[in-house]
């Protein structure tokens, strides 16, 4: 069923059919490898509008999580654990890792201190705490 506006042009905004068809074309172009800017130009829309539409439709896959190159590795955490177990000082452990003593000290304190530090648990906690919160804080 067609709806006509005052100008005699098909007004599909009331039915939403044209919009849904355009959404499908946006997603198809995205999946075909076109950039947000290319899709936006094709539909005379800003790339931000295209990104919003695709994110609402589940078309943008989140980037894979990866560790920062600056974070401690599992191997470094194991060395910290071994150093603590052998009774080495924080400075000795840090020197062996070529890290700042404050980094090693904070790592130990953050994950239970000398008596409770476990490398695997510390690594797991660090990975989990690196996730962004779902809570949006307003300014």
Q: Are 77 and 63 in contact (CB under 8 A)?
A: no
Coil vs helix vs strand at 61: coil
Provide the mean pLDDT of the chain: 81
Highest average pLDDT, of 7-16, 39-48, 90-99, comes from 90-99
34 pLDDT above the threshold of 70: yes
Q: How far apart are CA 104 and CA 94, in angstroms?
A: 6
Of residues 38 and 83, more confidence is placed in 83
Q: What is the pLDDT of residues 95-115, one digit of tens each?
A: 999 999 999 999 999 999 999
pLDDT at 52: 85
**CA–CA distances in Å: residue 138 to residues 30, 56, 134:** 31, 22, 13
Q: Are 37 and 44 in contact (CB under 8 A)?
A: no
């Amino acid at each position: 069923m067609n709806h006509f506006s005052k100008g005699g042009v098909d007004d599909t905004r009331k039915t939403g059919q044209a919009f849904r068809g355009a959404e499908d074309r946006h997603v198809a172009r995205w999946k075909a490898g076109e950039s947000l800017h290319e899709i936006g130009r094709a539909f005379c829309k800003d790339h931000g509008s295209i990104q919003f539409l695709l994110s609402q439709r589940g078309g943008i896959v989140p980037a894979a999580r990866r560790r920062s190159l600056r974070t401690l590795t599992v191997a470094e955490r194991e060395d910290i654990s071994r150093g603590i177990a052998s009774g080495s000082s924080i400075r000795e452990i840090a020197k062996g890792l070529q890290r700042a003593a404050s980094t090693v000290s904070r790592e130990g304190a953050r994950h239970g201190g000398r008596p409770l530090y476990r490398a695997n648990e510390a690594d797991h906690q660090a990975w989990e705490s690196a996730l962004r919160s779902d809570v949006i804080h307003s300014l």
